[in-house]
């Protein structure tokens, strides 16, 4: 993957997809600034000097700016950004016709505005490096209706796609790429409401053409590919990692 000596800023790195992406980047020789509102996971201790963990709130622009500066100072720059963090607020995020508007604003801040914070503070460091790559995580939910709507989450994740395309065009002349991963159902901590229920997990797998739900490894593999030079001619697009779910009639 040609990741030796590269520097990545990874959000949502305290567990699930973000932790696995950080782990795989480090295994490929990269240095990683892991950022999450959760405490540092025990497994991060094994990463040694290739990792710096910052516990902070992505909706706090100053905290993100400070973390980006720390990554650049500690590791000599920033080459990659993986915007993995997100939040599903079951029971609070509902139809826009009924939702508490304060909840709407909070969900938007976590799932979309946070990516504005990271991008605006990481891109200057990428420009100094002369190149960079960003991967932002959306969701297949943003392309479908739902009888049990989570309208703020779905709208935010649709905004991620539009934002990434805009960044891709703005930053192409700087040799900075921006792409989106659109995960389907995935066995991750954020989805544990249904993945911990064998019947629900089996029913979800039955709806996916490949016959299983996604794993965090699937998402990490796709993310490392899009960050790496193997994807050097790919920008402004979406990679669907959904087992064929959206290809169904």
Q: Which residues are catalytic, by number?
A: 153
Dist. CA 94–CA 52, nearest whole Å: 36
Residue 246 in tokens: 């959206």
* Contacts by residues 109-113 (CB-CB < 8 Å, ≥ 24 positions apart): 109/59, 110/58, 110/59, 110/85, 110/86, 110/156, 111/86, 111/87, 111/152, 111/153, 111/156, 111/157, 111/160, 112/156, 112/157, 112/159, 112/160, 112/163, 113/59
108's enclosing H/E stretch is helix 101-108
Residue 180 in tokens: 């989106």
């Amino acid at each position: 993957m040609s990741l030796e000596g590269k520097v990545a800023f990874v959000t949502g790195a305290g567990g699930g997809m973000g932790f696995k992406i950080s782990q795989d980047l480090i295994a490929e020789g990269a240095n990683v600034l892991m950022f999450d509102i959760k405490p540092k996971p025990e497994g991060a201790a094994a990463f040694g000097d290739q990792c710096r963990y910052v516990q902070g709130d992505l909706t706090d622009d100053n905290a993100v700016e400070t973390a980006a500066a720390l990554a650049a100072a500690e590791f000599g720059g920033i080459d990659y950004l993986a915007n993995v963090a997100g939040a599903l607020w079951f029971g609070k995020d509902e139809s826009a016709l009924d939702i508490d508007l304060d909840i709407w604003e909070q969900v938007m801040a976590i799932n979309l505005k946070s990516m504005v914070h990271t991008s605006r503070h990481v891109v200057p460091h990428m420009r100094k490096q002369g190149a960079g790559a960003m991967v932002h995580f959306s969701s297949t939910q943003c392309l479908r209706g739902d009888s049990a709507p989570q309208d703020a989450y779905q709208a935010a994740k649709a905004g991620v796609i539009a934002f990434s395309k805009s960044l891709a065009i703005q930053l192409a002349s700087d040799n900075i790429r921006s792409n989106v991963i659109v995960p389907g159902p995935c066995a991750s901590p954020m989805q544990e409401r249904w993945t911990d229920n064998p019947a629900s997990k089996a029913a979800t797998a039955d709806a996916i053409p490949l016959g299983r739900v996604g794993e965090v490894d699937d998402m990490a593999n796709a993310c490392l590919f899009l960050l790496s030079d193997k994807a050097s001619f790919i920008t402004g697009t979406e990679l669907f990692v959904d087992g064929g779910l959206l290809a169904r009639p």
